[in-house]
Chain A
Amino acid sequence: DAGVTQSPTHLIKTRGQQVTLRCSPKSGHDTVSWYQQALGQGPQFIFQYYEEEERQRGNFPDRFSGHQYPNYSSELNVNALLLGDSALYLCASNVGENSPLHFGNGTRLTVT
């Protein structure tokens, strides 16, 4: 049973560019959340998708957007990259309320 899978594992981009990160949730899970983890910090909530709609959003600018497909997979898009966007981006999936999040191994984004 595959867990949460994310691609790519590492990515290097230049300031001002755009990036798309991808996530496939754990089998049977219908809700996908994205988190940003900066060095030395805990993961910070970006947004959550359920039934192809953004259900909840954290304190991130509109440069961060997402999408969920009918098969529950999801994308995170970041436009106009800043140096401060360099972080580990974690995708998590779950099903139902109070169901623990299952995290993928993340995508390490470096902005130069």
Chain B
Amino acid sequence: DQQVKQNSPSLSVQEGRISILNCDYTNSMFDYFLWYKKYPAEGPTFLISISSIKDKNEDGRFTVFLNKSAKHLSLHIVPSQPGDSAVYFCAASDNQAGTALIFGKGTTLSVSS
């Protein structure tokens, strides 16, 4: 049973517009959430994180929103750029049980110019 779900395998957006990537989780014990970006032939690169005590965290063009009651988080990229085209993974951890990350299957973002 998948504990972290990214239900959209792919997303296409035009350059300059907003990209919204979504992630749902089932384990209410998760208290730390991260987004990673992965280019082909490279390892995942950390983008942004959020603790369960917050509902929003912003870093430049990237903002992560957390809705604990809905067990949902989203990553907003504004404005989107062609270089943002990559696979985006949502990940979560339960720090009570350790620091292992549980990843979703990823969403492939394509930003066209």
Taking Cβ atoms with an 8 Å cutoff, the residues of A that contact B are: 4, 31, 33, 35, 40-45, 48, 55-56, 58, 90, 92, 94, 97-98, 100-106
Cross-interface CB contact of B44 among A44, A56, A90, A94, cutoff 8 Å: A90
B41 in the interface, Cβ–Cβ < 8 Å?
A: yes
- Report the bound CA distance from A94 to B44 in whole Å: 14
Nearest CB in chain A to that of B89: its residue: A42
Cross-interface CB contact of A40 among B89, B99, B105, cutoff 8 Å: B105
- By a CB distance below 8 angstroms, the chain A residues around B104 are 42
- By a CB distance below 8 angstroms, the chain B residues around A100 are 34, 46, 49
- By a CB distance below 8 angstroms, the chain B residues around A40 are 105
- Report the bound CA distance from A90 to B91 in whole Å: 15
**B43–A4 touching, CB < 8 Å:** yes
Contact with A along B1-30 (1 / 0, CB 8 A): 000100000000000000000000000000
- Please count how many residues in chain B sit with their CB below 8 Å of the partner chain's CB atoms: 25
Cross-interface CB contact of B103 among A31, A42, A48, cutoff 8 Å: A42
- By a CB distance below 8 angstroms, the chain B residues around A44 are 103
Closest CB in chain B relative to A74 CB, distance in Å:
15
**B100–A43 touching, CB < 8 Å:** no
Task: State whether A41 and B105 are in contact (beta carbons under 8 Å apart), knowing that A58-B100, A101-B46 are contacts in the complex.
Answer: yes
Closest CB in chain A relative to B47 CB, distance in Å:
9
- Report the bound CA distance from A33 to B99 in whole Å: 10
- Report the bound CA distance from A48 to B42 in whole Å: 21
- By a CB distance below 8 angstroms, the chain A residues around B97 are 56
- By a CB distance below 8 angstroms, the chain A residues around B4 are 42
Closest CB in chain B relative to A50 CB, distance in Å:
9
Task: State whether A56 and B98 are in contact (beta carbons under 8 Å apart), knowing that A40-B105, A98-B51, A101-B46 are contacts in the complex.
Answer: yes
- By a CB distance below 8 angstroms, the chain A residues around B103 are 35, 42-44
The 6 A-B residue pairs whose C-beta atoms are closest, nearest first, are: A42-B103, A103-B43, A100-B46, A56-B98, A45-B100, A105-B43
- Report the bound CA distance from A100 to B42 in whole Å: 17
